[in-house]
Structures are given as structure tokens and as C-alpha cells.
Amino acid sequence: DIQMTQSPSFLSASVGDRVTINCKASQNINKYLNWYQQKLGEAPKLLIYNTNNLQTGIPSRFSGSGSGTDYTLTISSLQPEDVATYFCLQHSSRFTFGSGTKLEIK
Amino acid sequence: QIQLVQSGPELKKPGESVKISCKASGYTFTDYAMHWVKQAPGKGLKWMGWINTYTGKPTYADDFKGRFVFSLEASASTANLQISNLKNEDTATYFCARGGFYGSPDYWGQGVMVTVSS
């Protein structure tokens, strides 16, 4: 089974900051990597699919990059409404979620 | 618009069973698989498996073989999750999610909180 290591677990940043969250797969996942945002008490929302494709309706300050085993979610200018937990998901071989990154405003 | 509406919260005793439903609308139900995902209180997301909504064939993750059953009422665009012989560690929110891009979850239900307590 493919394991996903997500970092950091917790992130505190200021409004307007550039924020990056990372996921590392235990083997090459060929860009089959999604990112989700989960606000407190809500269902996860798909932000980015297949590494760098923005889901419809998601603000352009969110972007994704990566290849092979290493992937990154970037928020170019952090907004108050971005407070949430972010998860990656590999779907190259079955499905495995990362452990999550809790993002708060400093 | 695409919606997945799940059934309401459940309070059960250890050893009992529970059945959760997920009603889809806004798309052709049998064109997309349905995933099930577990989230224990304060924890991350765990993929439980999925069901092919065209053939009805389920696939279970290793940790969810035995007491967990995925089923369909395709005529009602509904997917179901049944958990038997409930244990305290089954206390969690259970999400259904449509298998969209390359089969990965895109649209999610609101989640069902299942509490197992004596």
C-alpha cells in the first residue's frame, strides 16, 4: 500500500502570507494527487485534482505542483476564510489520504 | 447541481448494526462510483472503499473487510453503508463521496455521525 506523509501537521501564518503544504508518497504516484479543504464541522471540499488542476469555483490563490513522490499545495496570499484542515489524497493505487495540516491565522 | 444527501445521526450500542444512506442527485447515478470515508473524532480521513454503481461490485480497504457492507438502491440513486457488530472504535463521521476525476472523490455528502456507546 502507498503511504502518504503530509507536513507540517500544524501551520500558523498571517493574512497575505504565502503558505505551502507538502505531501510525500512512499512511491511514485504519477501526479495522481488531489488536495482537499475541510472546514470545522463540514465535509471536505476538492480544491485541486491530479496535482495542478483547479476545481471549478476554487480561487486562483490555490495552486498545486509536484511529480514523482513529492507534491505541494500553495496558497499565494492567505485569506481569513482559508482557516481549515487540508488533506492530500493519492489515487494512483487505491486511495490514501495524508494525515492533514491544520492551518490557522496568526 | 450535484448533491449527496446523507441520513441523520445515529446512536447505537456495542454489538448492534447501523445502516447509513447517501442519496445522489444532479447527475446520472450509475456513471460514477461511490466512495465511503471514515473520520474518527478529531482525526484524519480514512478511505473505507468504494462501490461500482453500474455493476454493484464493492471494493473494501483492508481495515474494512468483514463487518462493513456497501450496497445500492440504484433506482433511488442511493448508496448505503451497513456496519454490523458495532464497536466503540466505530464511533466516527462517515462520508460518502462521488468518484469523479479518475475515480477520485469530488463531491461529498455532509457526513453522518455514528456514536457507539453502552
Residue tagged 456507546 (cell numbers): B117
> Does A55 contact B106 at a Cβ distance shorter than 8 Å?
yes
> Does B111 contact A89 at a Cβ distance shorter than 8 Å?
no
Give A15-35 pLDDT, tens digit per residue: 999 999 999 999 999 999 999
Give B72-101 pLDDT, tens digit per residue: 998 899 999 999 999 999 999 999 999 987
The residues of B whose Cβ lies within 8 A of any Cβ of A are 35, 37, 44-47, 50, 61-62, 95, 97, 100-111
> Does A34 contact B44 at a Cβ distance shorter than 8 Å?
no
The answer to whether the beta carbons of residues B51 and B57 sit under 8 Å apart is yes
pLDDT at position B101: 79
Check the CA dihedral A58-A61-A67-A71 and report its sign.
Answer: negative
Give B8-51 pLDDT, tens digit per residue: 999 999 999 999 999 999 999 999 999 999 999 999 999 999 99
pLDDT at position A29: 98
User: CA B95, CA B83: separation in Å to the nearest integer?
Assistant: 14
Q: What percent of chain A has pLDDT over 70?
A: 100
User: From the CB of residue A4, how many other CB atoms can be counted at a distance below 10 Å?
Assistant: 21
List the single residue in B44, B61, B104 with the smallest CB-CB distance to A100: B44
Q: What is the mean pLDDT of residues B99-109?
A: 93
* Residues pairing with A88 in the sheet: A35
Give A39-86 pLDDT, tens digit per residue: 999 999 999 999 999 999 999 999 999 999 999 999 999 999 999 999
Q: Is the pLDDT of residue A6 over 90?
A: yes
Q: Is the pLDDT of residue B102 over 90?
A: no
